[in-house]
Chains A and B, each alone.
Chain A
Amino acid sequence: MQISEETLQRLLACVQKPARYVGQEWNSITKDWATVTVKVALAYPDIYEIGMSNLGLTILYDLVNREPDMLAERVYAPWHDMESVMRSAGIPLFSLETRHPLAEFDVLGFSLQHELTYTNVLNMLDLAQIPVLARERTNKVPLVIAGGSCTYNPEPMADFIDLFVIGEGEEVLLELLRAIKTWKEDPLSPSKEELLRRLVHIPGVYIPRFYQTRYANDGTLTELSPSIPEAPPRVRKRIIPTLGPVPTRPVLPHIQVVHDRGMVEIQRGCSRGCRFCQAGIIYRPIRERPVQEVLEAIDELVAHTGYEEVGLVSLSSSDHSGIAKIVEEAMARHREDGLAISLPSLRLDSFSIQLAEMIQQTRKTGLTFAPEAGSQRLRNVINKGIEEEEIFRTIEAAFKSGWNRIKLYFMIGLPTETDEDVLAIAQLVRRIYHQGKALRQRRIELNLSVATFVPKPHTPFQWVPLASRETIMHRQQLLRENIRERRVHLSYHDWQSTWLEAIFSRGDRRLGPVIYRAWRSGASFDAWNEHFDPHLWEQAFQKEKIDPSSYLREQAPNELLPWEHIDTGVTKDFLWREYERALRGDLSPDCRQRCHNCGILQAFAKERKRSKNTWGCP
């Protein structure tokens, strides 16, 4: 039953930002609940401001709602104030569009983009009065599913999710929903178990309950295999051969959200092959959206939303083969209405400065670059193929063009890193700073964000250990001591969050009870520094007798990794080759220039035939 308007108003009288919970925004789609057959709630396990900025859910909301017999509604994690009034009034978590409790949907789909949102998934299920553990969900609906980049290692969430969608959800979600429709309308009313047995045949679907695991005495994983004949031993990710339509009528948030602008995905995948980067592997192959399509999408998006800014989204926007044309033409078409174009991921090269100049003719707000490592040696190890002198040339060009605030991303704790590599960050930054001061009259400002490297599944660094706490603390201290310039601001990632992220990243399904216990004892919003309580987690590991360090150690090359049944199309052999090249300091050039035989083309030969030459692969 729908939550009434009056009930909602009473709840909202007690909360800080009520606009998060009322829905009915411009472009939101409210369909007739009574006549639509298949209903899916798209959930993001963080607050409205973060969830509304997610492009993946925007795409799926658009796609599902295009289908006349389906509807998609949205739901986000309520902030603590809303949660407590809902709990004390006994109100279950409900969707924004029609305010139906999540338990009344056929499918509840979570987007898992960040490991530290896992406890929020549990909390949202519980708030929705849906059993948190998959095995305790005896009701037929809702089916709890999940997608997103975290599901490339789904194991830590295996206890809570009925079904994972691996890879790009555009096609597979609709296939799933159609199968659910058939099942719902089946006069024999088959069981949920029967439904799952049907769904397991859909490529890209992973149903953890149909897999069993075995461990050796020392705790290492020795087997992860299907327990029913229908389940495939490996689940290959799904991809779409060409990028689908741009959602040009996205829901306009009521309040200011993290990315308060329109988004046009110009390219999926990245050809650079940075060895630490999971996105660079899992979003392969590289697919470009044709220039004309991008331009039309920008026009339509602006017409339907009134956005003042459109971001051209991709992993490396300056690599799109038509990017200059796109920027030039879009700026020309929207000169009158003052549309701002933003490029969220620019490479450190002079071409990027030219692009930045084109989009920031009036206000030169700030530029962001990611050298990632301080020394040339280490940049070669991670395959960030960028020369020291190129960095200086680029940044010099930026200063000369009028930018005086530059943000730089670095990582510490990378494989083979020594203190010298970290000192090289300090040298690099100081040289940039003094170069800038010499060039510019106005005061320049450098913001350094220094993250700790987390080894991620499906990357060439998936075997390497997480650096120890002592190492990271020491290297952060080194940076603090060696960068003392007043207008250089350093920020670090909190060690404890990095630690937990690293555990979940390469975890297996034995982590389920730990997550459950930590949530039970109060963990939620772990991605929020002010809410993250590492003690809850330490206790949970202790009580469940799980040694967290076993997930942080170096993995042997012949070891079975907990995510090996998930197939990205990129072979383990290629990842290992890249790892060996990394240790030798060998660069692997951009794969638009030369194919490194990563496996994608063999895995997705059929899709390539339908790709209309939009792939970046040679």
Chain B
Amino acid sequence: MRHQVTQRLRVTFGIHGPLIYLSVLDLGRLWIRLLRRARVPVAYTQGFSPHPRLQFAAALPVGYSSECELVDIFLAQELTPAEFLQMTRPQAPLGLTIQHVENVPLKAKSPQANMQKAHYRVLLQSPLSPKEIEAKVQALLSRQSIIRQRRKKGRKVDYDLRPLIYEIRYVKYQGNLHQLHMVLRCGPKGSGRPEEILSALEIPVDYYTICRTRLIWDLEENAQ
């Protein structure tokens, strides 16, 4: 087992199909096994129970698809991004697309600690018209605060959803689905969840899907 770190690769990947139902831990195991099959020389942590050094940027909630997940992989031997892609792509299971790989400095700030916002594409079926939904969105955005409850360690806790919302936009109606674009806070200081927005909008919804389309982190402001 190799412990030294010689390189750090940042991988952008998408999650769809069956894999949207995996938890963060399941996705971690999936990645580790994928990298082992691909024989990528991942560096291991030191200590009593060494584990491969991977860093995911932001946990993807169960049930969401994504076009923009990030994982930093620390290697014990150098590989070019092209080599990495060539090794790993044949090992990717259905539902995982490895989109892009780049070198980042070993000491680069972690996206995880500096995560700010996430973009979401929400598709929903609803008996309401586009105009009615749009009106609901405007009404929600015009509120100063949106007090809601969430469960925390089995207890119900009040929180304000409003400051977690940066943008909600009605995009289009197509193929019997309404499309909404949402930009919500995402990161160590709390995250807004698209389902919470849907629920606060009080739109009757038969069915919806959520896809994370972009992660935004700030390397300057919060860097320590």
Separation in Å of the B190 CB from the closest CB of chain A? 24
Q: Which residues of chain A are within 8 angstroms of B36 by Cβ–Cβ distance?
A: 302, 306-308, 337
Are B34 and A18 in contact, CB atoms less than 8 angstroms apart? Answer: no
In the complex, what residue of chain B is closest to A302 when comparing beta carbons? B36
Q: Which residues of chain B are within 8 angstroms of A376 by Cβ–Cβ distance?
A: none
Q: Which of A254, A302, A303, A305 contacts B26 (CB 8 A)?
A: A254
**In the complex with contacts A363-B48, A363-B49, A18-B63 CB distance below 8 A:** yes
Residue-by-residue, is B1-38 near A (CB-CB < 8 Å gives 1, otherwise 0)? 11000000000000001110111011001101111110
Say yes or no: is B50 at the interface (Cβ < 8 Å to chain A): yes
Are B50 and A338 in contact, CB atoms less than 8 angstroms apart? Answer: yes
Residue-by-residue, is B41-62 near A (CB-CB < 8 Å gives 1, otherwise 0)? 0001000111000000000001
Q: Which residues of chain B are within 8 angstroms of A304 by Cβ–Cβ distance?
A: 37
In the complex, what residue of chain B is closest to A30 when comparing beta carbons? B94
Q: Which residues of chain A are within 8 angstroms of B30 by Cβ–Cβ distance?
A: 26, 254
Separation in Å of the A268 CB from the closest CB of chain B? 28
Say yes or no: is A72 at the interface (Cβ < 8 Å to chain B): no
Say yes or no: is A255 at the interface (Cβ < 8 Å to chain B): yes
Q: Which of B48, B62, B93, B95 contacts A18 (CB 8 A)?
A: B62
Say yes or no: is B103 at the interface (Cβ < 8 Å to chain A): no
Q: How far is the CA of A306 from the CA of B90 in the complex (A)?
A: 13
Say yes or no: is B222 at the interface (Cβ < 8 Å to chain A): no
Separation in Å of the B53 CB from the closest CB of chain A? 12
Q: Which residues of chain A are within 8 angstroms of B91 by Cβ–Cβ distance?
A: 306
Q: Which residues of chain B are within 8 angstroms of A260 by Cβ–Cβ distance?
A: 29
Q: Count of chain A residues with Cβ under 8 Å from any Cβ of B?
A: 30
Task: Give the segment of A5-13, A199-207, A609-617 that binds chain B.
Answer: A5-13
Are B63 and A13 in contact, CB atoms less than 8 angstroms apart? Answer: yes
In the complex, what residue of chain A is closest to B25 when comparing beta carbons? A256
Q: Which of B21, B29, B49 contacts A12 (CB 8 A)?
A: B21
Q: Which of B17, B21, B32 contacts A306 (CB 8 A)?
A: B32
Q: How far is the CA of A260 from the CA of B36 in the complex (A)?
A: 15
Separation in Å of the A23 CB from the closest CB of chain B? 7
Q: Which of A22, A256, A306, A338 contacts B33 (CB 8 A)?
A: A306
Are A19 and B37 in contact, CB atoms less than 8 angstroms apart? Answer: no
Are A303 and B44 in contact, CB atoms less than 8 angstroms apart? Answer: no
Q: How far is the CA of A12 from the CA of B22 in the complex (A)?
A: 12
Separation in Å of the B111 CB from the closest CB of chain A? 25
Q: What number of residue pairs across chains A and B have CB atoms under 8 A from each other? A: 75
Residue-by-residue, is B127-149 near A (CB-CB < 8 Å gives 1, otherwise 0)? 00000000000000000000000
Residue-by-residue, is A8-35 near B (CB-CB < 8 Å gives 1, otherwise 0)? 0110110000110011111000000000
Q: How far is the CA of A363 from the CA of B44 in the complex (A)?
A: 15
Say yes or no: is B86 at the interface (Cβ < 8 Å to chain A): no
Q: Which residues of chain A are within 8 angstroms of B18 by Cβ–Cβ distance?
A: 19, 22-25, 254
Are A252 and B33 in contact, CB atoms less than 8 angstroms apart? Answer: yes
Are B22 and A254 in contact, CB atoms less than 8 angstroms apart? Answer: yes
Say yes or no: is B80 at the interface (Cβ < 8 Å to chain A): no
Say yes or no: is A194 at the interface (Cβ < 8 Å to chain B): no
Q: Which of A12, A25, A256 contacts B93 (CB 8 A)?
A: A25
Say yes or no: is B199 at the interface (Cβ < 8 Å to chain A): no
Separation in Å of the A177 CB from the closest CB of chain B? 27
Q: How far is the CA of A521 from the CA of B91 in the complex (A)?
A: 47
Are A255 and B63 in contact, CB atoms less than 8 angstroms apart? Answer: no
Q: Which residues of chain B are within 8 angstroms of A6 by Cβ–Cβ distance?
A: 207
Are B23 and A255 in contact, CB atoms less than 8 angstroms apart? Answer: yes
Say yes or no: is A336 at the interface (Cβ < 8 Å to chain B): yes
Are A338 and B44 in contact, CB atoms less than 8 angstroms apart? Answer: yes
Q: How far is the CA of A252 from the CA of B94 in the complex (A)?
A: 12
Are B35 and A22 in contact, CB atoms less than 8 angstroms apart? Answer: no
Q: Which residues of chain A are within 8 angstroms of B99 by Cβ–Cβ distance?
A: none
Q: A18-B21, A24-B93, A306-B36 are in contact. List 9 more A-B contacts (CB 8 A).
A: A19-B23, A254-B22, A302-B36, A304-B37, A305-B33, A338-B44, A338-B50, A362-B49, A363-B48
Give the 7 A-B residue pairs with the shortest CB-CB distance, closest first: A306-B33, A306-B36, A18-B21, A22-B18, A306-B37, A338-B1, A19-B21
Q: List 10 A-B contacts (CB under 8 A).
A: A10-B207, A19-B23, A24-B17, A26-B30, A26-B33, A254-B26, A256-B25, A306-B34, A307-B33, A336-B2
B→A interface (CB under 8 Å): 1-2, 17-19, 21-23, 25-26, 29-30, 32-37, 44, 48-50, 62-63, 91, 93-95, 207, 209
